[in-house]
Each structure stands twice: as structure tokens, then as C-alpha cells.
A and B are shown apart, each in its own frame.
Chain A
Amino acid sequence: MLTIKNLFAGIEDKAILKGINLQVNPGEIHAIMGPNGSGKSSLASVLAGKEDYQVTDGEVLFEGKDLLELSPDERAKEGLFLAFQYPVEIPGVSNMQFLKTAVNEIRSYRNQPALTAGEFLSLIKQKQKLVELDDQFLRRSLNTGFSGGEKKKNEIFQLAMFEPKLSILDETDSGLDIDALRIIANGVNRLKNNNNSFVLITHYQRLLDYIVPDFVHVLYDGKIILTGTKDLALELEEKGYDWVKEMAHAKEPAQ
């Protein structure tokens, strides 16, 4: 599904990702954890194609294609989805208009006919239930005036609408109360199957009680410094990050 080899990227002169290697296979759930500022969101942004980042080295293959050669919209059309850590508000663009445009663009890329108004509405109804998103959010401008939790729900609702192959969830759990967390986790668990994959970026072990990962990676200072199973998340929860940081520094050659 996704192969990242020795990926280096930065903004202007600042190096942020410093040699990432990661293999995600169909049907797998990966969790990426790590202290603030270690490059988790940057990794997600580079994969989604955010212009601000320059890739200076390395390679990313998505379903066999060179991901870095594709424009952001093509990446989405190929089946990559990023649930943003901070979904942006877009006043004046209604949620419905946005969804319809996006769904039909993706369908046209896949040589499927545009949905009729009826088909579109029933698709919405069906996916809406998955995350218990109220009708009123569909009528409003995109994310505008939504609470933090509603924005995150809306991200997962879009994920359900677009049915991507690989979904990256950037701290979707941050700032959610336990009910919202449960709703979102249930949604993800129902969308999960043997052909799609998820990368969960998270700070907290809490989410991993609901969505059980196959692998847990620790990202620190632009590198994956440790990989384990879900037990690693528990250990991090208990002991914090200092011991992994020390381990990472110990591995570095003396300057």
C-alpha cells in the first residue's frame, strides 16, 4: 500500500523529516506516536502534498506509484486521505456543495458516473449515521463555527464518504470527550477492512484502546526511532518519552 524510503523533508532551510522508513500493507493499522514537534504532522503533510514542504531525499510509493510526483488532488483521487489535526474553516462554501464537488471529482477520476442528487443524498444519510453527524452541519459552511469535536467528526464523515485506501488521522482524538472518541473510533472500526489501511497519529494511548493497532512507531526528531506492538503504547503512557529520547541520543554518534 505505502512504502516510505529514507524520506527527508523540510521547510525552507529547516530540516524536519530526517530519514523516515515505513511500510504499510493493506489491512494494517499503524499508530505513530511521539512528543510534540517531532514531525508527525509534517509527515502527514508531505504525504498529502502540502506545497510548503520540500522533499530533499527519499522516495514514497503508494500502490506502486511515485506519490511525490502526484498533485495533492491526484493523491486524494488515488485513495489517500488525511484527516487534519486542525480542519480549516471555509466560510461561504457549504458542506453539501463541497462534498458533492469532491465526491464527483473523485468518481470522475475513477471513471464512474457522477451521482444523481438522490444517490448523493442517500450516500450522505448512510455515512452520516456512522459518526452521528447532525443534519445542521451539512447545511452550514464547511467547518465554520463547528466545535473542535464537530470538526473531527466531520473529518471522519468525509473519510466515510470518499472510501480511501489509506487514511492518515492526525490527532483526531485530541480534544475529544470520551463519548465523541467512542463514536469516532466506532466509525473507523466499521470502515476498516482487509483492503484499506490506517495510520493513526496520536499522543495518547487512549485511542488505541478503541482502535487496536498492528504496529506502534515512535517518531522523534524527524526519525522513527522505535517500532513495537500495542504494548509499546502502554509502556509510553506509563513511562513517558524520556527513555526513548535517551535511547535515540545514545545511538547517535558523538558530534
Chain B
Amino acid sequence: MLQTDTLHTKFLELVKSAEAQNGATLLESRQAAFKRFSNNGFPTIRSEQWKYSNITGLLNDALQVPVEPLAVKETQDAGAALLVKLHAPAEWLTILTINGKLHTIQRPTGSKEDNLQISDVQDFLLSTEDDGDNDTVVQQAINKPFSLLNRALFLHGLQLEVKANSQVNIPVHIIHYYTGIENTFLQTRLQLKANKNAHLTVVESFIADSSCKNVVVNHAAETLLAAEATLDHFLVQQLNEQTNLILSEVVRQEQQSDYKNHVISLPFARFIRNNLDIALKGTYSHTDMHGLYMVSPQQVIDNSTGINHLRPNCTSNQLYKGIVADKGTGTFNGRIYVHLDAQKTNAFQKNANLPLGEHAVINSKPQLEIYADDVRCTHGSALGQMNNQQLFYLLARGIKQEIAVKLLSQAFVNEVTETIEQESIRSYVADLVEKALDQM
């Protein structure tokens, strides 16, 4: 397994290289983050948060941490061709990164979107300094091992910011494309900031091509919604068995903000871990967390979500569904935390799983911690199985077993895809899901 010492050597190289120097304000934060990381190192299955996923094999010795930008062969022209190949919807604003580095920005003809600023990360959105009790949950989230490591070692960071009182009218599609890299432990970063009463829709597609070998992407995201801001956020993970992902997203919401998150994990990566931590810091805010994880044989998809209700009158709604093939492992570890001050909280959580074989492994662990007294919280978890009555009904109508199973699987996932309000995004996701179902 990767050793902290090795990482430390790499870290020192990185600090020396120009890439890290250009963000002088970041340097101190990087050092602080690395120090914190070194204290505990990588998590093990003894940790409550990681008990279902052993990462020792994933973080193998062969992995190298790049300290300078990885070579990218394609020219700017090739960027446009690549977007066609990747089926990037042309009517969206598309930002293509290759192996973490910003490569192409493509706008639909006639669109300006000058209220959206696209830049490198110059500073962290969510600071590590403690600014009072209210922020400790954010601190805890950004101080988790992989977030810390990313803070210390990230090579490329992209930041999107929307001006106050404005709306970006088309979806912004960020394609994280991984190609031609081997034995790489890549740290990439995204920061999203919606200022007061700003409105933004972001679709992130994580796409790996077959030229990658033994790649682990440690992607960290910091998201900030100012008062009255809305953000629709979709993470669509289209990886392969050589390209694995550890994703950590921390979201802070101010009052009357509305954050809708969809994480769609398509099959075939060996390992995907999704950490999602949300802090409802302002009153009258709302969060949606929708997840769909499709686990192929031998694959692990592990979702670890936490929503913190810190202030009164907020609502949250979570629906996570997993389809788990034989010998796949699907995990949902979801915590709702209603703090003392969060009266009139209304929180809903549901996790359901559909195993496709006897040896599918499903871990479902919903957790409710409530410290306020005037709240409404409901949660439920269903390990599930294919409904035999439904299956027999379809068979008895002449539909053969494998097609009937597919129809029922489709129906199972539809509950998640139907929550996508924007037609163009729903069909983008639904097409990918349908294709994945055919291949599972």
C-alpha cells in the first residue's frame, strides 16, 4: 500500500515545483493539510466510515503521485472532436478537462454567460480555520483523509463562480476526462460558488477511456451556496475497471438556498467511493440528495453521505437506490444529523437496493441523530429483492426472463432518474443508465 513517507517526498517535490508556487496563498494551506493527513494516514476498515471498504489493494505500491501537469497530446482543435466523441450535448456550455487540466471551453453559438466566471483555484472556498461552532461540521468534513490529501497535493483545480442575482441559463457541463495515464494517483479539484440569489446547473461527467491503467482519481469538491442561491448538481460517473474514483464533496448552504444533488455511479470501475457532506447553515434551506449506484460483478461502490441540519426550518430529502450484480458490493452509509438548534427540521431518507444475484453484497446503514425536539424525520432502508409477483406477471405475458428482469431493473432506477427536472439532463442520464443496464 502507498506509504505516507512516499507521499511526503512527493509533497516536498510538489511544493518546490512552479505549479504549487503560483498559488502562494495556497502553500500554507497545503502544508497544514499534509501535516493533518500525516497524523492519521489513510483510513482503515477499523474506522466507522470505512468499515465496508478496504482500500489497501486500491492504493497499491505502483501508484505514483504526479507533481507536475501530465502531458496531454490533443490540441485545442482535437478538443472539439473529442467532445463529439464523448457525446457532450452541444446545447450545454462544456468545460473539458483532461487528466485534471483545463483543456477546452465550448459554448453553444449565441450564448455568452458572462455572469459565470471560470478560473483556476486560487484559494479554498471553505476555510480550515474554525470560525465558531456552526462551522465545525464543515471543518470535520474537509478534514477527512482524502480531502486533506487533495488539499495538499492537488495539481489542478477548477473554480466556477456565478455573480449575485443572476442565472446561468444553460447547464454547465464539466467533463473530467482521463486518458493515457498509468499507475497514477491523481488529485483533482472543483470549487463551485453561487453568490447571493444566483442560479446554476452543473453536470459533471467523469469519463475514463480504455487507455488508462491502474488509475485512482482523488477528486475533491467544495461547494458554497450563498443566501437564496440555487444549484442543481449532477455527478455522472462513467469509469472503467482501470480507473477508480474517490470523491469527496463538501457543501455549505446559507439561508433560503436550494441545493439538488444527483450522484449517478455507472458500473465497471473497480472501486468508487462517494463522500458527500452537507451543512445546512442557514434557515429555510433545502437539500435534495439523489443517488443511483449500479454495481457490476467484483465492483465496489460505497456511498457515505452526511447531512447536517444546523439551523431551524430546513428540509432535506434523500433517495439512494442501488442495483447490485452478483459478487458486487454496494454500500450506503447515510447519516442525518439534526443539531440542537435545528427546530422544525423536516428530513426524509430512503435507501433501496436490488440485488441481481445470490452473491450480491449490500450494506445499508441509515443513521439518524436528532438533538432538536420539534422535528420530522423519516428514514427507511430496504435490502430488497426482485419482486417475484411482478416478475411472474411479466413472464406469464410471454416476456422472457432476461427481458423481464431488465424491465423491472429499469423501473427500479426510474424512480431516481424521474427526479431530474431538466429534460435534456434527464435524457442524457437515462440513456447512459439504460445502456449500462444492458451491459450489467
Give A residues with C-beta under 8 Å from B. Answer: 48-51, 71-73, 75-77, 82, 84, 87-88, 90-93, 97-98, 101-102, 105-106, 109, 141, 158, 162
B160 on interface, CB distance cutoff 8 Å: no
> How near does chain B come to A46, taking the closest CB pair, in angstroms?
12
> How near does chain B come to A23, taking the closest CB pair, in angstroms?
23
Bound: A51/B388 CA distance, A? 9
Nearest-CB residue, chain A, relative to B411: A92
Cross-chain contact B397 with A92 (CB below 8 angstroms): no
Bound: A51/B389 CA distance, A? 10
Cross-chain contact B410 with A76 (CB below 8 angstroms): no
Nearest-CB residue, chain B, relative to A84: B393
Nearest-CB residue, chain B, relative to A48: B396
CB within 8 Å for A73 and B407 given contacts A50-B392, A92-B412, A92-B414: no
CB within 8 Å for A72 and B412 given contacts A88-B389, A97-B407: no
Cross-chain contact B414 with A162 (CB below 8 angstroms): no
- B407 interface neighbour in A82, A88, A93, Cβ under 8 Å: A93
Cross-chain contact A92 with B410 (CB below 8 angstroms): yes
Known: A72-B396, A93-B407. 6 other contacts (CB 8 A): A92-B412, A93-B411, A101-B403, A105-B399, A105-B400, A109-B398
CB within 8 Å for A98 and B394 given contacts A71-B401, A73-B400: yes
Bound: A87/B387 CA distance, A? 14
> How near does chain B come to A106, taking the closest CB pair, in angstroms?
5
Cross-chain contact A162 with B410 (CB below 8 angstroms): no
Cross-chain contact B396 with A93 (CB below 8 angstroms): no
CB within 8 Å for A51 and B392 given contacts A90-B411, A92-B410, A93-B408: yes
Cross-chain contact B401 with A88 (CB below 8 angstroms): no
B395 on interface, CB distance cutoff 8 Å: yes
Nearest-CB residue, chain A, relative to B392: A50
B392: chain A residues at CB < 8 Å are 48, 50-51, 72
Bound: A102/B396 CA distance, A? 10
Cross-chain contact A76 with B397 (CB below 8 angstroms): yes
Cross-chain contact A102 with B393 (CB below 8 angstroms): no
A91: chain B residues at CB < 8 Å are 411, 415
13 A-B residue pairs with Cβ-Cβ distance under 8 Å, sorted by A, are: A48-B392, A48-B396, A51-B388, A73-B395, A73-B399, A73-B404, A76-B395, A88-B387, A91-B415, A92-B412, A97-B407, A98-B407, A102-B398
B407: chain A residues at CB < 8 Å are 93, 97-98, 101
Q: Which of A73, A75, A97, A162 has the largest number of chain B CB atoms within 10 A?
A: A73
CB within 8 Å for A162 and B397 given contacts A92-B414, A101-B403: yes
A82: chain B residues at CB < 8 Å are 396
Cross-chain contact B393 with A88 (CB below 8 angstroms): yes
B210 on interface, CB distance cutoff 8 Å: no
Nearest-CB residue, chain B, relative to A79: B398
A50: chain B residues at CB < 8 Å are 392
B404: chain A residues at CB < 8 Å are 73
B397: chain A residues at CB < 8 Å are 73, 76, 98, 102, 158, 162
A51: chain B residues at CB < 8 Å are 388, 392
Bound: A49/B415 CA distance, A? 30
Nearest-CB residue, chain B, relative to A164: B398
Q: How large is the interface on B (under 10, 10 to 19, 20 to 34, 35 or more residues)?
A: 20 to 34
- A49 interface neighbour in B395, B399, B410, B412, Cβ under 8 Å: B395
> How near does chain A come to B429, taking the closest CB pair, in angstroms?
15
B390 on interface, CB distance cutoff 8 Å: yes
Nearest-CB residue, chain A, relative to B412: A92
A72: chain B residues at CB < 8 Å are 392, 395-396
Bound: A106/B396 CA distance, A? 11
Bound: A51/B391 CA distance, A? 11
> How near does chain B come to A39, taking the closest CB pair, in angstroms?
18
Nearest-CB residue, chain A, relative to B418: A92
Bound: A75/B392 CA distance, A? 12
Cross-chain contact A105 with B403 (CB below 8 angstroms): yes
Cross-chain contact A76 with B398 (CB below 8 angstroms): yes
> How near does chain B come to A31, taking the closest CB pair, in angstroms?
21
Cross-chain contact B390 with A49 (CB below 8 angstroms): no
> How near does chain B come to A65, taking the closest CB pair, in angstroms?
15
Nearest-CB residue, chain A, relative to B406: A101
Q: For window 371-394 of chain B, which residues contact chain A by CB distance below 8 Å? A: 387-390, 392-394
B410: chain A residues at CB < 8 Å are 92-93
CB within 8 Å for A49 and B393 given contacts A92-B410, A92-B414, A93-B410: no
Bound: A88/B404 CA distance, A? 14
Cross-chain contact A90 with B390 (CB below 8 angstroms): yes
Nearest-CB residue, chain A, relative to B393: A88
> How near does chain A come to B206, taking the closest CB pair, in angstroms?
27
Cross-chain contact B399 with A101 (CB below 8 angstroms): yes
A48: chain B residues at CB < 8 Å are 392, 396
> How near does chain B come to A144, taking the closest CB pair, in angstroms?
10
Cross-chain contact B403 with A76 (CB below 8 angstroms): no
Cross-chain contact B395 with A77 (CB below 8 angstroms): no
A98: chain B residues at CB < 8 Å are 394, 397, 407
Bound: A87/B397 CA distance, A? 12
B411: chain A residues at CB < 8 Å are 90-93, 141
Bound: A31/B392 CA distance, A? 24
> How near does chain B come to A161, taking the closest CB pair, in angstroms?
10
Cross-chain contact B396 with A49 (CB below 8 angstroms): yes
